[in-house]
Amino acid sequence: MITSKELRKKYIEFFKERGHSEIPSASLVPENDPTVLFTTAGMHPLVPYLLGELHSEGKRLVSVQKCVRTGDIDDVGDSTHNTFFEMLGNWSLGDYFKDDSIRWSWEFLTDEKWLGIDPEKIKVTVFEGDVDAPRDKESVKVWQECFEKLGVSAEVFDKEKKNNEDARIFPLPKEDNWWGPAGLTGPCGPDTEIFIDLGKSVNFESCPNAENCRPGCNCGRYIEIWNNVFMEYYKTAEGKYVLSRQKNVDTGMGMERTLAILNDFDNVYETDVLAPIVAQVKTLSHCHCEGEARSNPVTTCKESDDGILSPTAQNDNVETKSIKIIADHIRTSVFMISDGVFPSNLDRGYILRRLLRRAIRHGNLLKMPNGFLFPLAETVIEIYKEFYPELENNKDKILDEIKKEEEKFEKTIKKGLKEFEEMINLYKQRNLEAGLSNIDDIFISGEDVFYFFSTFGLPLEMTIELVKEKSNPINLEETKKQFNEEFKKHQTLSRTASAGKFKGGLADASEETTRLHTAAHLLLESLRRVLGEHVFQKGSNITAERLRFDYSHADKLTDEEKQKVEEMVSEQIQKKLPVSFEEMNLEEAKKIGAMGVFESKYGEKVKVYTIGKNDDIFSKEICGGPHIKNTSELGKFRIKKEQSSSAGVRRIKAVLE
């Protein structure tokens, strides 16, 4: 068996031998990256250097980076997806390029001295070319040489050809084989992705794509383990791809997946970084589920005596999935808190809260004892403390936050879940009385969901998940839309309501922070209009008292610039501009020129918040919200302080009076 410790060590050693310097993992909370909530790849902290700034450690870097990708949250429970993972990465900052990068990946993967993976199991994808950039012929050539050297035939997949059985190199379009830019503009380029082919036996029968099942298909046959990005382009604000002056390599290898492959495990939960958490979940729940088949079935895993928390599809898969979800979410939560994220109803804090509450709910499905996350968190710290000493240093803080969230859940959410169950039954009863053939078909109104959110703190996504478990929900998009409208309505109401009336969910998403959040959008756009389009948001932190806003700009604001920015924000407030949002996919958001960076992948829906309307639109930003309804609710905007934050980044502290 190869352990996580050995794999990290081998990777670092291999690249050090090839002239790379090791750099430490950056925080999960990006320090100087525009608006991404979490560090989602090893390249995030390196963006300034990919753009040409000199790195003190040189032009060849290697790291193990903590990453969080919550876009994959619904896939957690399968064999390969996690919300937290470690990325092994190596970089060339204007130094080596495709040839060395591919050859080294190949050597590391296949050489007995390193990972010794059977080359027959490896398949790769490359960029097929389009109007923006040509086909990546160089990568194809290097791959063919690598494969052939080890006696493995390396045919390129040909769409026109009937029998492509032997194909090993697959040219694919931008959706699959292009990385970046991290923001709307920035460094990007074609990539080549390395997959392990688990063979036809795995899921192949059930693959809906059987004829066309190839790397990239998500039936489970192909596992992507490494992505080599060749950053030779820069995407401009006009959406053009121009060749960049500096050509970089950015690679990322998923540690848990690779470990699972190397050890012939069925899934990442058997690796040494997750197995102890899974084992502890099983012990605590007295549940002896073994994979898909249970050797020692214990009914308490499935049944709930009050009938409230039991899933509708009561089978082993449900249990296995719950175990995986708990293991995944507690691990991510521990790392997030260690890096300074606390449960709340906004941004990062909301995501953390969602993970913790979802884990607790799945714990309830498994009949875990109250407070079960606490000992699991201790296990996570034990597993990782040697490599990430910050976990041990922040142990008290981590455990304390988890305990608090568990207590809140016990107090309010359990009641909510019970009431929720009653409501679903009522809907079904009504269907029955109305003589409907399928009583499970129900439409849950956004108002109902909002009630559970504001009264019991049930996150929207969790409520939706519950509806799906208990019934057959109709028109969930409409439910979500109504919920968001309700959310906004109540924020406006809460300002006039007597203090304390809207405690619960909204108490945390306090009206002050929401107002400052909208002010941040006005501030960013004003800075861009006054200082220029090089200004991007590099981070923000909002408390009920003030807005702290980091942005890219080299110089101190002059008094005149500061005044102009303040005036521009105030002008938008006086204009009483409406604030609205629309959901669209990433590509559409880019097309309409919305600002912002996000963790989502191609095709995923994002919210675009617009301030203003018709021909008086001031700003458009991709953002999760929430926001106020109209800029007239903001009051007087003032910049209190303007100072340097780090190289090329300035920081503003602003208030609403």
Query: What is the smallest separation between the CB atom of 127 and ligand SER, expressed in angstroms?
Result: 14
* Six-digit token string for 465: 């998940």
The one among 33, 232, 250, 511 contacting ligand SER by CB under 6 A: 250
Residue 41 interacting with ligand SER (CB under 6 A): yes
251 binds ligand SER (CB under 6 A): yes
Whole-Å CA distances, 487 to 85, 345, 452, 453, 459: 33, 12, 12, 9, 12
Write the burial class of residue 591 (CB in 10 Å: 0-12 exposed, 13-18 middle, 19+ buried): exposed
Residue 89 interacting with ligand SER (CB under 6 A):
yes
153-182 positions binding ligand SER, by CB under 6 A: 179
Report CA dihedral (516, 521, 523, 528) to the nearest 10 degrees: 170
Q: Considering the complex, state which of residue 136 and residue 250 has its C-beta at the smaller distance from ligand SER.
A: 250
Shortest Cβ distance from residue 102 to ligand SER (Å)?
14
Instruction: Say whether residue 91 binds ligand SER (CB under 6 A).
Output: no
Least Å distance between CB 230 and ligand SER? 10
Binding piece for ligand SER, criterion CB under 6 A, among 38-46, 135-143, 384-392, 394-402: 38-46
Is 599 near ligand SER (CB under 6 A)?
no
Report residue 4 as tokens. Answer: 């996580």
* Contact of 124 with 193, CB cutoff 8 Å: yes
Q: Residue 349, exposed/middle/buried by CB under 10 A (0-12, 13-18, 19+)? A: middle
Count CB neighbours of 216 within 10 A.
18
Distance in Å, CB of 89 to ligand SER, minimum? 5
**To the nearest whole angstrom, how small is the minimum distance from the Cβ of residue 473 to ligand SER?**
33
Q: How many amino acids of this chain bind ligand SER (CB under 6 A)?
A: 10
| Choices 39-47, 352-360, 367-375, 553-561 (CB under 6 A): range interacting with ligand SER | 39-47
Should residue 256 be labelled a site residue for ligand SER when binding is judged by CB under 6 A? no
Phi, psi (5° rounding) for residue 494?
-65, -20
- Selected binder of ligand SER within 23, 26, 43, 278 (CB under 6 A): 43
Residue nearest to ligand SER as judged by C-beta position: 252
| DSSP track, 40-89 | -STTGGGHHHHTTPPPTT-SEEEEEEEEE-GGGGGGBTBSS--SEEEEEE
Kindly state the smallest distance separating residue 105's Cβ from ligand SER, in Å: 12
CB–CB of 38/598 below 8 Å?
no
Peptide bond into 276 cis (omega under 30): no
Of 65 and 332, the one with the shorter C-beta distance to ligand SER is 65
The two structure tokens encoding residue 426: 């009522």
Q: Which is nearer to ligand SER, 41 or 259 (CB)?
A: 41
User: From CA 205, how far away is CA 85, in angstroms rounded?
Assistant: 30
| Chain centroid, CA 483 distance in Å | 23
Question: Does 227 participate in binding ligand SER (rule CB under 6 A)?
Answer: yes
CA 228 to chain centre: 20
Distance, CA of 254 to CA of 271 (rounded, Å):
13
Alpha carbon distance 173, 193 (integer Å): 12
Provide, rounded to whole angstroms, the least separation between the CB of residue 45 and ligand SER.
12
Q: Looking at 133-141, 237-245, 246-254, 412-420, which segment touches ligand SER (CB under 6 A)?
A: 246-254
Rank residues 252 and 457 by Cβ distance to ligand SER and give the closer one.
252
Among 34, 42, 189, 216, interactor with ligand SER by CB under 6 A: 42
How far, CA to CA in Å, does 260 sit from each of 6, 225, 411, 415? 13, 10, 39, 40
Q: How far apart are CA 329 and CA 277, in angstroms?
A: 11
- Quickly tell me which residue has 């919200």 as its tokens: 625
- Binding span for ligand SER by CB under 6 A among 23-31, 247-255, 261-269, 368-376: 247-255
252 belongs to the binding site for ligand SER (CB under 6 A)? yes
Stretch that binds ligand SER, among 249-257, 288-296, 408-416, 609-617 (CB under 6 A): 249-257
253 versus 309: smaller Cβ distance to ligand SER: 253
Piece of the chain touching ligand SER by CB under 6 A; list 47-55, 250-258, 605-613, 627-635: 250-258
70 is an interface residue for ligand SER by CB under 6 A: no
For binding to ligand SER (CB under 6 A), which residues are involved?
41-43, 89, 179, 227, 229, 250-252
